[in-house]
Structure 1
Amino acid sequence: MHCECPTPGLKRRKRKSGPDILYWVARADLVKAGYRPETVRLSYSPDDPAQMPLISAACLKLQAEMLEWSSGRKRDPARFDGTIKGLSRRYQTDPASPFQRLKHNTRRKDLYTVAIIEKAFGKRALAALRIADFYRWYDEAKKPKMPGGRERVRRAYGIIKKLREMISYGVMAELPECSRLSEVLRHARFEQPARRSEKLELHHVEQFVAKALDMDRLSLALGTAIQFEAVMRQKDVIGEWEPLPPGASASGIVLRGRRWVNGLTWSDLNEELVIRKRTTKTGAFVAHDLKLSPLVLDLLARIPADRRVGPLIIDEKAGRPYAHDAYGREWRLVARAAGIPDEVWNMDARAGGITEAEDAGATLDHIRSAAAHSQTSTTIRYSRGAVGKSQEVARLRQAFRAAKNGT
């Protein structure tokens, strides 16, 4: 980028189509020390010289905030300026905050929402807020991204949910105005996003597997087949990348300061082709006999014996487990090529398998055990439009009527 305007911390990410995306990135040593946000996306065009002063001003502002924090002025956990941004920063940095006990992946998602909150209304003083402000913010956040598009209720509700969590923390930390606002929000009602009804069905999986093999993406075919047949969460199949704890050795599979964990490995699959694995969400063990899934058996047979070591799902392009978000991104490319609608997601494989199991007549308790759910009520939420139980009820009623009428 050719310009005399100073742009400290500016980074750009190239895209295959469209202009590059600009980011301001905080210094790595200060991020490690606890500074947030780590990155801020800049909504400017890198190819428009007229926008360079705006890009420079944004970078200088963010850099100044970071350096002010590093000087110690913003490290004092008792410092609170009475604004939403002040509450947000206290929520993120206080060792006693619930934020510190979130899992790393949940924390990363939360920071995305927190960044939206800080940018949109971070300067507002808590003492000046009224219920009308929250409703107005909710209505603005749910507006369609494009004219005529769908309302973004999930996004809007997520912002209000995070505000509630931050204010609840403020109550616990005895920060001014938080008790009042907590009481205000306790009585407020906001439309929640509708529960997902989409599911990945068998014909989707078969279409996907065929297309993935055509595109030389055996890993995506195998991962999807296991997710569907063994009703396993994506994370429990492909794994995830956790930040290395301070001082930890870089053992195992490490990429950019993060270690791959929790995914299926060949050691989880015994000679009888039975998977035994502890799940990440509940800690429960699951066991699945893959010999009962011809779809998975066919895909496993395509993997040479000398490659059956380490992670089960390997990104063919990178030669290692899929990096963050890469699995979902590559999965969508294959899904579109296979004719699978965009509203059907990879995560819907679990719901599809559970729904099929109920239609097949499996008991909810057996399905619950197979899915490693701690409660049957959770299993029921994953069953989307199954008719298995209602068919059984209908058959029993018809038999009852026949017996009653002596026929």
Structure 2
Amino acid sequence: MPCELNAPGLKRRKNRDGTERLYWSAPKPAAHAGFPTGLVRLHYSLTDPLHHKLIESACLRLEAEALEWVAGRRETRNAFDGTIASLVRRYQNDSASPYRDVKWNTQRTYDQVLGVIEKAFGGRSLAALGIADFRRWYDEAKRPKVAGGAERVRKAHGIITMLRRMFEYGVTADLPECWRLLTILQHARFKEPARRRHRLEFRHVRAFIIKALFSGRLSLALGTALQFETTMRQRDVIGEWEPVSAAAFEDDIVLGGRRWVHGLRWADISDAFVLRKVTTKTGAPIGHDLSECPIVMELLERIPASRRSGPLIIDETAGRPYAEHAYAREWRLIARAAGIPDDVWNMDARAGGISEADDAGADLDAIRSAAGHSQMSTTVRYIRGTVGKSRNVARLRVAHRAEQGHSNQPV
């Protein structure tokens, strides 16, 4: 590194082809204090003298922000200097940002994408960006992880979607260049990830339940049966763990600083086995008569009356609701033993139940209501590969031809 360069935190790394990449690295005190930006890629070159001032400016700015953080003056995280990195921070920290209104687990997902954006091109100035940059970033992000692998379209499209969100916020916050960049992305088209076409079918559910019971995992069998028969989302059946807040109550189930919420409790099921619940995602109230769901009833009958209180789905090995990711991990082990392909997921139980209802000829609006959807178009997206409606249409057309005096024979 040139000795005359005043660039605290500047780091260099070699690429495989011998070229050099530049980064700014946060000082250790800032990292220990939880400074959210540990490493920032600098898209400059030490071999170009015209870049030296830009490198110094970027490093000095980032270093100052880190030291401000250590000193406890964190409001500087809202400062905007025209770079993508500063827009990311404004989007995350501004009390007027829509980021503050989404659920904690959605924020966590957003943060993962925002971290990728900041590390990859956080130092870029908004004023210097155009469609060519967005195309290049999209193409680079979708490249297969390994040679010959599948393109990562979902990752690439997620980055573009997040950029749109940030620019939309920037427009409302009256930040320079955001209107221009949002207009570009609103008119640009990027290939979207394909919608899932898999569904958990009744034969899968039956095979899974048999294996789960054989393995002593009644909880997995019951959870899967409920998801399939009621078309409820996984989180509405088994619950989720949210950060503990000041509103936590004494009888809350707490694990590792998080409390269990939103899952089914025995109190949600009446003596007549009618289940009523408000769904987590949309807040829509749903009701299901479980006495009309034979596989659910058979599994419920296996649970003694003395255990019919508190959360419905309990991890047998831990004696409490499943920890985060544990349900999916244990479910996959049983699914493989039951011969269910790895590309069929537990979350596909909802699509499977909705698709089976459509195949059986159920009224589409009735399916929508049972699933807790507010829009019919949402229900339609969950119907995968069914022929019930098309079969009925074919029969009506054949009957109509006969009524018109036409023969249905080709010759």
Q: Is the 8 A contact 2:264 2:313 kept in 1?
A: yes
**Aligned position for 1:337:** 337
Structure 1 residue matching 2:145: 3-state secondary structure? coil
**Aligned position for 1:71:** 71
1:161 aligned onto 2:161: yes
Q: Is the 8 A contact 1:77 1:93 kept in 2?
A: yes
1:389 aligned onto 2:366: no
**Aligned position for 1:99:** 99
> Shift of the alpha carbon at 1:391?
1.2
**Aligned position for 1:367:** 367
**Aligned position for 1:130:** 130
> Shift of the alpha carbon at 1:63?
11
> Shift of the alpha carbon at 1:68?
3.7
**Aligned position for 1:139:** 139
Call closer, same or farther: CA 1:70–1:26 in 2, change over 3 Å.
closer
Structure 1 residue matching 2:105: 3-state secondary structure? helix
> Shift of the alpha carbon at 1:294?
1.8
Q: Is the 8 A contact 1:244 1:250 kept in 2?
A: no
> Shift of the alpha carbon at 1:250?
5.0
1:357-398 alpha-carbon deviations (Å, 9 max, x no partner): 011110001111111111111111111111111111111111
Structure 2 residue matching 1:75: 3-state secondary structure? helix
> Shift of the alpha carbon at 1:106?
0.9
**Aligned position for 1:198:** 198
Gaps of 5+ in 2: 1-27, 40-61
> Shift of the alpha carbon at 1:161?
0.3
**Aligned position for 2:227:** 227
1:353 aligned onto 2:363: no
d(CA) in 2 for partners of 1:168 and 1:192?
Answer: 20
**Aligned position for 1:267:** 267
Q: Is the 8 A contact 2:361 2:388 kept in 1?
A: yes
Structure 1 residue matching 2:75: 3-state secondary structure? coil
Q: Where do 1:316-335 residues align within 5 Å?
A: 316-335=316-335
d(CA) in 1 for partners of 2:30 and 2:391?
Answer: 61
Q: Where do 1:230-241 residues align within 5 Å?
A: 230-241=230-241
Letter in 1 for 2:182: S
Gaps of 5+ in 1: 1-24, 41-61
Letter in 1 for 2:262: N
> Shift of the alpha carbon at 1:356?
0.5
1:274-310 alpha-carbon deviations (Å, 9 max, x no partner): 1111111222211111122221122112222211110
Q: Is the 8 A contact 1:157 1:193 kept in 2?
A: yes
Call closer, same or farther: CA 1:405–1:182 in 2, change over 3 Å.
same
**Aligned position for 1:176:** 176
1:84-142 alpha-carbon deviations (Å, 9 max, x no partner): 11111111011000000001111111111111111211122212212111111111111
> Shift of the alpha carbon at 1:337?
2.1
1:294 aligned onto 2:288: no
**Aligned position for 1:5:** none
Letter in 1 for 2:138: Y
Structure 2 residue matching 1:357: 3-state secondary structure? helix
Letter in 2 for 1:182: L
d(CA) in 2 for partners of 1:103 and 1:29?
Answer: 27
Letter in 2 for 1:226: L
Letter in 2 for 1:391: R
1:331-373 alpha-carbon deviations (Å, 9 max, x no partner): 1222122221111111110101011001111000111111111
TM-score, normalised with respect to structure 2: 0.81
Letter in 1 for 2:128: A
1:305 aligned onto 2:301: no
CA RMSD of aligned residues (A): 2.5
> Shift of the alpha carbon at 1:28?
12
d(CA) in 2 for partners of 1:318 and 1:63?
Answer: 46
**Aligned position for 1:277:** 277
> Shift of the alpha carbon at 1:246?
3.8
Q: Is the 8 A contact 1:285 1:372 kept in 2?
A: yes
Q: Is the 8 A contact 2:65 2:76 kept in 1?
A: no
Indicate the larger mover: 153-162 or 126-135: 126-135
Letter in 2 for 1:353: G
> Shift of the alpha carbon at 1:244?
2.3
Of all paired residues, the percent bearing the same amino acid is 62
d(CA) in 1 for partners of 2:322 and 2:219?
Answer: 10
1:156-210 alpha-carbon deviations (Å, 9 max, x no partner): 1011101110111111111222122112212211001111111111111111111
d(CA) in 2 for partners of 1:215 and 1:221?
Answer: 10
Q: Is the 8 A contact 1:205 1:225 kept in 2?
A: yes
Q: Where do 1:204-215 residues align within 5 Å?
A: 204-215=204-215
d(CA) in 2 for partners of 1:228 and 1:26?
Answer: 51
TM-score, normalised with respect to structure 1: 0.82
1:398 aligned onto 2:401: no
d(CA) in 2 for partners of 1:28 and 1:297?
Answer: 53
Q: Where do 1:114-129 residues align within 5 Å?
A: 114-129=114-129
Q: Is the 8 A contact 2:78 2:93 kept in 1?
A: no
Call closer, same or farther: CA 1:218–1:131 in 2, change over 3 Å.
same
Q: Where do 1:105-116 residues align within 5 Å?
A: 105-116=105-116
Call closer, same or farther: CA 1:78–1:142 in 2, change over 3 Å.
closer
Structure 2 residue matching 1:341: 3-state secondary structure? coil
> Shift of the alpha carbon at 1:70?
3.9
1:208-233 alpha-carbon deviations (Å, 9 max, x no partner): 11122222221111111100011111
Task: Figure out how many residues of one structure are paired with residues of the other and give that number.
Answer: 358
Structure 2 residue matching 1:287: 3-state secondary structure? strand
Structure 2 residue matching 1:85: 3-state secondary structure? helix
